[in-house]
Structure 1
Amino acid sequence: MTGAPETARNNTVNTVLGPVPADDLGVVAVHEALLSVVPGAEHAFDITMDRAEIFENLARKLREFREHGGGTVVDSTGMFHGRDVRLYEALSRSTGVHLVASTGMGPEELLGGYFLTPQTDPPTPWPAGKFADLFTREVTEGMVVPRVERRGAAGLVATAADPAGRTATEESLVRGAARTARDTGVPVSLRYGADAVGDLDVALDEGVPADRVVVGGLDRTDAVHAGAPFDIARRGAHVALDHVGCNDDDRYVTDRQRVALLLDLVREGLGDRILLSGNTIGEAVGHPAYDLPYSHVAATFVPLARSAGLDDADARRILVDNPRDLLTLR
């Protein structure tokens, strides 16, 4: 293993190339994927992963993001969905875009049996403390590069629950992720299951401050109809409307409906809780691509919101200030 990564809690953010001043992040695409691989797909006989082609494709997309004023992309896929720290380091050096990588995992269906305790009947999940130790070491010692070394520190701990409802394993994941955020100063991202407020409450029960938590998927139709974005924001957590650009899926509201929701949150005095992203997948292996530009939020969606009444100060707050404050080590 290499030595522990350079870290500092002095208005800095962990990127794959080390800590950078938080004020250097610029416009942030806060909930995206770079290389997303269905676990095991890299071993399939009918799938070829050309690393040079993957690099060139992602570099092109990141340069386009930078040309539209983008500064930072957050890969929030966690540990086991294709995260390639060396690739991300090379991409950041080549394009000048800051890249923040994440630790964490979930939902349960994507974990694999290793993270259950098979000696019991039925199998029981890892306790929250084991997940917390795993995730915390990826922040304090560096992200694992199988199997012999650790590299740069994770800047985010991410987890997700089943849309049908949080399982016992997923509760352990949420608690472990929250403990890591509480103890290391990185934020925690929760893709909620069936109950956004309930999932947030599990995290808050571990003592992590609400403003260190972002609840994702809050532009889901069920969340909007239930008023969950307002409930989450009033509790002090960040509200992620993170499927911007998705206009043909009944599970999510449309961009025009997102604009209306965004403006309603701003009018309620909750503009400092809003985060936007597109859930873009730069390179997909083993599942369908989602080839939305990383620049879509800033270049297309925010101008739509401005035409509907969003002012420049609030636009900057949502694109720059809110993600900066979330990602800054505390």
Structure 2
Amino acid sequence: MSKVNTVLGTIPAEELGLVAIHEHIGYGMPGSELDTTWWKTPEQRYEETVPKLRAFHENGGGTFVDATGICNGRDVDYYKSLSAKTGVHIVACTGFVGGDTALPHFANAPVEYLAAQFIHEITVGIGATGAKAGVIKVGVSRGGRMTELDKRIYRAAARAAVQTGVPILTHLAIDAEPAIAIFREEGLPLDRVLFGHVDDGVNAEKTQDTWIVEQGGRLGFDTFGYETELPDPPFWARPRNKRLEHFLRFVQGGHADQVLASADANCSPLGWPGVKGHTVNYIFEQLIPDLRKAGVDEETITKIFVESPADFLSIKN
């Protein structure tokens, strides 16, 4: 039976239910916890977060994958309390959103050290929490090209993924060629990698999405809800119909088994105001209804949100 690491323990993949594959309990840049403008008490964060997770659960959501890396506000004891309170399975990650978010202690470390860090968090636990990471986060630093540090982190992540059997989730899918070269050099099958944010408004046109799928990788359409139609859209917003059309091109074009979807929402952003009105529940409020209106059948919707995430998150070693 396939297993998945959640913050409350390792569970059968069949118990995950509907999965939001790329979300955040609270994401912030290193140092945001010291920002006097946006600092929040634990009580304020809890008050903002619990209703969103409860609504997710009531809508039929089973599992929330928190893609907040090391140094970006990851708080696993907090995740454990939220999971116990709301009934939502929470999967925590090890790794980094990008090399430019790694503090010097990690940024100056060799591949071997980084791989050992990731492996420890997956097999032993994160800090003293006892909770094991269920996915590895990597990313392309600002600028649109992988830096030498990014490449070091990707290589360490690939080694950890091969040894532990957990998958890799990327921040941005741009500059995919060196990433895929590293994964292949380390012997990691590309179906164990979800190339994220292929649909964001800044990078969608630059992303080799078709090529990634042809190589065997998975595509993460995981910025749903960041729309130009919002009252105050973020810089990475995109027209709702354009993102949906992009997604449907793969769903209805023979690649429904290689795409996953999410909203990349923050329950309680750290060090920045976030995007008002945008939550993980966009999946239920807009995305799934939009897919049904476009003629996507229930079997395919189940594949995208239940079956494929369970297969992706399963420990395979």
> Normalized against structure 2, the TM-score is what?
0.91
Please tell me whether residue 320 in structure 1 is matched to residue 309 in structure 2: no
The alignment status of 1:135 with 2:118, answered yes or no, reads yes
Corresponding residue for 1:159?
138
**Aligned-residue offset at 1:290:** 2.9
SS of match in other structure, 1:129:
helix
Relative distance call for 1:205 and 1:255 in structure 2 (3 A) is farther
2:231 maps to none
Question: How large is the RMSD of aligned CA atoms in angstroms?
Answer: 1.9
- On the 8 A contact 1:29/1:73 being kept in 2, the answer is yes
The CA deviation at 1:45 is 4.2
Q: Structure 2: which amino acid aligns with 1:280?
A: A
Matched residue of 2:150: which SS? helix
Aligned mate of 1:89, from 80, 96, 113: 80
The alignment partner of 1:36 has SS state of coil
Q: Indicate which of 64, 68, 81 corresponds to 1:77.
A: 68
SS in 2 for 1:89: helix
| 8 Å Cα contact 1:216-1:239 kept in structure 2 | yes
User: What is the Cα deviation at residue 80 of structure 1?
Assistant: 1.6
Counterpart in 2 of 1:307? 293
Contact between 1:234 and 1:270, CA under 8 Å: does it hold in 2?
A: no
- Shift of residue 226 of structure 1? 5.1
Q: How big is the shift at 1:258?
A: 2.4
Q: Distance in 2 between matches of 1:88 and 1:21?
A: 19
- Which one is further off, 45-54 or 128-137? 45-54
Q: Measure the CA separation in 1 of the matches of 2:77 and 2:207.
A: 41
User: Deviation at 1:103?
Assistant: 0.4
Among candidates 246, 251, 255, match of residue 226 of structure 2: 246
Q: What is the letter of the counterpart of residue 286 of structure 1?
A: G
Q: TM-score, normalised by structure 1?
A: 0.88
**Partner residue, 1:121:** none
CA distance in structure 2 between the aligned counterparts of 1:114 and 1:15, rounded to whole angstroms: 27
Q: Contact (CA 8 Å) 2:173, 2:198: kept in 1 or not?
A: no
Provide the aligned length of Structure 1 versus Structure 2: 309
- Counterpart of 1:185 in structure 2 is 165
Task: Give percent identity, aligned residues only.
Answer: 32
For residues 227 and 41 of structure 1, do their structure 2 counterparts lie closer, same or farther at Cα, with a shift above 3 Å needed?
A: closer
Question: Is 1:53 paired with 2:33?
Answer: no
CA distance change for structure 1 residues 143 and 194 in 2, over 3 Å: closer, same or farther?
A: same
Matched, 1:285 2:270: yes
Alignment partners' CA distance in 2, 1:33 and 1:227: 23
Q: Distance in 2 between matches of 1:231 and 1:307?
A: 28
Residue pair 1:35, 1:281 contacting (<8 A) in 2 also: yes
> What are structure 2's unaligned runs of at least 5 residues?
229-233
Residue aligning to 1:102: 93
Shift of 1:328: 0.8
Compared CA separation, residues 290 and 45, structure 1 to 2 (3 A):
closer
